[in-house]
Amino acid sequence: MSVPFDQLDGHIWMNGEFVKWSEAKVHVLTHGLHYASAVFEGERAYGGEIFKLTQHTERLHESARLLGFTIPWSVADIDNACNQLLAKQGLSDAYVRPIAWRGSEMMGVSAQKNRINLAIAIWQWPSYFDPKQRLKGIRLDLADWRRPDPRTAPSKSKAAGLYMICTMSKHAAEAKGYADALMLDWRGHVAEATGANVFFVKEGRLHTPTPDCFLDGITRRTAIDLAKRRGIEVVERTILPEEMEGFEQCFLTGTAAEVTPVSEIGPYRFEVGELTTTLMNDYSAEVQPKRAAAE
C-alpha cells in the first residue's frame, strides 16, 4: 500500500513559510472544507523546471477572483515559492499543487472576513494512468453526471467544488473496470473527462469541444499549439455524443494526464494512431527544459 499523502516526507510552503510536511494542517472548521471556497492548480516539473509555471499561477489568481477573494501573494511571489520548494524537496521531475482557501475566522455561508491561506506541496507522481494501459489507450465510461450550466457554477475557475461530480464519476467508472469517464455538459454535448480535456481525430483533423462550461486547460492549449505547428487543422466546436462513432482516434490532455491515448469510450472504439502518437512525442519534447546550444 502506498504511503498516505499526509505522511510523506519533506516540507510544504504554507502562508509564506516552509513547514514540515506532517505539520501543514488546517482546522476542521476551515471554510474551504465546509463550503468548497478553495481554488488550486496542478503543475508538473520536468528536469527541475516547472512547465508554464506563470500561466498556472495567473490562472490561480483568476480562479480566486471568480470565487470572490484575492490571494495576498503576487504571481511572482508564488512562482518564486514554487521554485524554492522544488529545490528544497530535492526533486527534478515532480507534481506541484498550489491551493488557496478561506480560513476559519467565520463559519457560515458568509465569510468576507476569513483569512485567505495559500499552500504549495510538491511530490513525485510519475503517471496519472497505468503506464501499460496508457500505451495501448485507456478505456473510458460515459458518466451519468454532467458539467453544469455556467450560469450555475464558476466553470472558468479551477475551483475545488467543481470536482465533486468528477470524483463521483471516476469512482463509478473504476468500479466497472474503466480508467476514467467522459462527461457530457448540461446540454448533452461532449465536454471532458473527469480531470482532462478530450480531443478526437478524423481525416487528419483534430476536433475538440469548445470550453464554454469547463476549464480551458493549459495542456489543452499546448496541444493545440503543437498541432498547429505541424500544420494540423484544429476545430473547436460542439460535439454530439453520437459523432464519436465516426472519429478514428481520441486522446486526453492535462497536466496529470499529459497526452494520453484513448481506445474506448462506452460503445465507441478508437485506434492509437500516428497523429496521436506524434502529439504525445511532441508534448514530451515540449515540456523538457530547453538547454542552451552551447551545452
* Distances, alpha carbon 261 to alpha carbons 47, 53, 196, 264, 267, in Å: 24, 25, 12, 9, 16
Cβ atoms of residues 29 and 20 within 8 Å = no
What is d(CA 125, CA 279) in angstroms, rounded to the nearest whole number? 22
Beta strands 249-254; 116-123: pairing state: unpaired
Residue 111 makes CB contacts below 8 A (sequence gap 6+) with 31, 35, 37, 102, 105
Nearest to 41 by CA among 115, 114, 102, 119: 119
Residue 119 makes CB contacts below 8 A (sequence gap 6+) with 12, 13, 14, 15, 24, 98, 99
Catalytic residue, from 132, 136, 158, 170: name it. 158
What is d(CA 251, CA 205) in angstroms, rounded to the nearest whole number? 13
Joined together, the cell numbers standing for residue 1 give: 500500500
Residue 224 makes CB contacts below 8 A (sequence gap 6+) with 206, 208, 234
What is d(CA 295, CA 159) in angstroms, rounded to the nearest whole number? 41
Can 20 be counted among the known catalytic residues? no
Task: Write out the catalytic residue numbers.
Answer: 158
